């Protein structure tokens, strides 16, 4: 079918609520089977903006826990209910890093989150203004 014969989507169709997408994955080390869900644009934007302080600077603690926050937002049971909340983030930090890194990458790929953006912000946090990070004193060279 070529472009000239394809019918365009109308506004009503465009804003018909879409169903969440789900995917089952097995963690490589613990062998736990989990289910992840897609996110809405609103949820994705909320995840991304949680790294910013009101001042517009980045919050280092939020950059560091971005992967755990995404995992919390994505893990669901068979009925589609989230099984974790933000209180579980400290426990996720104690997981084997191969499991957490694998699950973060799976969640990011499934939701369209660009992992390189977060990783680059954390790597370059010394070059950008970050709230909660130590600032050099006036007598110290920058």
Note the pLDDT of residue 38.
97
Tens of pLDDT, residues 24-79: 999 999 999 999 999 999 998 888 888 776 776 767 777 778 899 999 999 999 99
Q: Which residue has the higher pLDDT, 57 or 139?
A: 57
Note the pLDDT of residue 136.
42
Distance CA 25, CA 27 (A): 7
The CA-atom distances, in angstroms, between 4 and each of 1, 7, 10, 12, 13 are: 8, 8, 16, 21, 20
Distance CA 65, CA 46 (A): 14
In the chain the domains, ranked by start, together with CATH numbers, are: 20-131 (3.30.2220.20)
Name the pTM for this structure.
0.75
**CB-based contact 62:48 (threshold 8 Å):** no
Maximum CA pair distance of the chain?
Answer: 69
58-59 and 130-131 strand pairing: parallel
**CB-based contact 34:24 (threshold 8 Å):** yes
Is pLDDT at 108 greater than 80 in this prediction? yes
């Amino acid at each position: 079918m070529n472009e000239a014969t394809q019918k365009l989507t109308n506004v009503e169709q465009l804003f018909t609520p879409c169903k969440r997408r789900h995917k089952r994955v097995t963690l490589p080390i613990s062998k736990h089977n989990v289910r992840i869900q897609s996110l809405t644009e609103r949820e994705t934007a909320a995840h991304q903006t949680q790294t910013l302080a009101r001042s517009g600077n980045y919050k280092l603690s939020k950059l560091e826990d971005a992967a755990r926050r995404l995992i919390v937002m994505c893990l669901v049971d068979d009925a589609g209910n989230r099984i974790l909340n933000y209180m579980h983030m400290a426990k996720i930090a104690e997981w084997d890093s191969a499991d957490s890194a694998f699950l973060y990458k799976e969640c990011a790929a499934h939701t369209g989150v660009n992992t390189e953006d977060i990783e680059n912000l954390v790597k370059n946090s010394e070059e950008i203004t970050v709230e909660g990070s130590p600032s050099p004193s006036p007598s110290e060279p920058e």
